[in-house]
Amino acid sequence: MSATTAATFDTAAVKTYLLDLQARIVAALEAADGLPFRTDAWERSPAPGAEAGDKAGAATVSPPSPQGGEGDKAGPSALSPPSPHTGEGDKAGAAFNGGGGISRLIEEGRVLERGGVNFSHVTGSRLPPSASAHRPELAGRRWEAMGVSLVLHPRNPYVPTVHMNVRCFVALKDGEAPVFWFGGGMDLTPYYGFEDDARHFHATCKAALEPFGADLHPRFKDWCDRYFFLKHRNEPRGIGGIFYDDFAEGGFEPAFAMTRAVGDAFLSAYLPILERRRDIPYGERERDFQAYRRGRYVEFNLVYDRGTLFGLQSGGRTESILMSLPPIVKWRYDWHPEPGTPEAALYTDFLVAKDWA
């Protein structure tokens, strides 16, 4: 079910939850790593030539950003076709009134080589005509978009990279019911696969969704598998997880409750894996393979990820958008792992469609 109207939309409650989620996750990661995260608060600044009252330039979350992506991404996410990330359609896009965010990041940590947990909240006075042409209920509405997004790149190759985000969008008009939706999910990208880790991560995702309907996990798992796929490599980015967008089933309270369940499940899904694998000895061979596989992460984010692409093409806040990229990456020409090695097992046993939960 796609975006819906509701009698009320509690923007303050959503923002309070997201800020608290960011704080809780950062506190847990700081405790695990032993070093503090940097705080970088930012605000949207007027762009040259912008209309009075409109603000652009420092945007990290810009409409439309179909299905979100990496980095900061709370933007309205199902406003296509056409969508500006293709370079076609409405070049002027939406009108921005303001907003900002808080980027929390760590580099050269004891466990996390690079990572960020970002909050964004941006507002605008109108959506582009391409949005309202295909969704007439959005015409003439001001909008707000907010979310929390994180990407963690651990140093130890036996600890997987992870991505999670939860976000929402609401379009408002005086005297009319709000139009809103939620999106989010989480996915795991191991370099050396462990069946226990895969089953734990997927089982935690499934348990978070079960109170809201038995059909949600298979839907969102399949969506994740299809979205985080490198078509030019014919392989998935990792072992998946869950992904959803344009979600408003049951109205505001049920949809918000489900999104909270996803966000709240992240630490339970990931921290036990990090703690199990963080002290496994490794050498140059493992670091080399990690850097090679990180190349796939970069390829996906810069070639396919819709939030990243639109953020970069629409004057987004580059530092926050590219926070998702790993610090050390390698590429090789036509390289393949030797059969029977742990590196080969990643491809044969983990980068395949499988029901882990």
To the question of whether residue 167 is assigned a binding role by annotation, the answer is yes
Q: How confident is the model at residue 130 (pLDDT cuts 50, 70, 90)?
A: low
Could you write out the three-class secondary structure of 173-238? CCCCCCEEEEEEEEEEECCCCCHHHHHHHHHHHHHHHHHHCCCHHHHHHHHHHHHCEECCCCEECC
Residue 290 falls within a domain, yes or no? yes
DSSP state of 314: T
Give me the pLDDT at residue 57, please.
Answer: 32
Q: How confident is the model at residue 69 (pLDDT cuts 50, 70, 90)?
A: low
Give me the pLDDT at residue 295, please.
Answer: 96
348 three-class SS? helix
Give me the pLDDT at residue 229, please.
Answer: 96
Alpha carbon distance 286, 305 (integer Å): 27
Q: How confident is the model at residue 326 (pLDDT cuts 50, 70, 90)?
A: very high
Which one of 75-89, 138-152, 234-248 scores highest in mean pLDDT?
Answer: 234-248
Q: How confident is the model at residue 309 (pLDDT cuts 50, 70, 90)?
A: confident
Give me the pLDDT at residue 59, please.
Answer: 34
147 has a pLDDT exceeding 60: yes
Q: Kindly report the CATH number assigned to the domain that includes residue 121.
A: 3.40.1500.10
To the question of whether residue 134 is assigned a binding role by annotation, the answer is no
240 three-class SS? strand
Residue 355 falls within a domain, yes or no? no
DSSP state of 283: -
Mean pLDDT within 151-155: 98
Q: How confident is the model at residue 58 (pLDDT cuts 50, 70, 90)?
A: very low
Give me the pLDDT at residue 50, please.
Answer: 43
Residue 356 falls within a domain, yes or no? no
To the question of whether residue 153 is assigned a binding role by annotation, the answer is yes
* Domain hosting residue 40, numbered range: 4-350
Alpha carbon distance 287, 157 (integer Å): 6
Q: How confident is the model at residue 65 (pLDDT cuts 50, 70, 90)?
A: very low
Annotated active-site residue in 85, 121, 163, 200: 163
pTM (two decimals): 0.86
155 has a pLDDT exceeding 90: yes
Residue 10 falls within a domain, yes or no? yes
Strands (E), the chain: 4-5, 38-43, 95-107, 112-126, 142-154, 161-172, 179-189, 229-230, 235-236, 240-247
Give me the pLDDT at residue 75, please.
Answer: 41
Q: How confident is the model at residue 44 (pLDDT cuts 50, 70, 90)?
A: confident
Mean pLDDT within 184-190: 97
Q: How confident is the model at residue 312 (pLDDT cuts 50, 70, 90)?
A: confident
To the question of whether residue 165 is assigned a binding role by annotation, the answer is yes
Q: ω before 82 within 30° of 0 (cis)? A: yes
Mean pLDDT within 236-246: 96
pLDDT tens track for 166-181: 999 999 988 888 999 9
Q: How many CB atoms lie within 10 A of CB 332?
A: 10
Residue 107 falls within a domain, yes or no? yes
Give me the pLDDT at residue 311, please.
Answer: 73
Give me the pLDDT at residue 166, please.
Answer: 97
**Active-site residue 163, yes or no?**
yes
Q: Chain-wide mean pLDDT for the chain?
A: 85
Beta bridge partners of 126: 95
166, 262 contact by CB (below 8 A): yes
Give me the pLDDT at residue 123, please.
Answer: 87
90 has a pLDDT exceeding 50: no
Residue 357 falls within a domain, yes or no? no
Number of domains present in the structure of the chain:
1
To the question of whether residue 329 is assigned a binding role by annotation, the answer is no
pLDDT tens track for 3-40: 555 567 899 999 999 999 999 999 999 999 999 999 99
To the question of whether residue 232 is assigned a binding role by annotation, the answer is yes
Mean pLDDT within 214-235: 96
Residue 83 falls within a domain, yes or no? yes
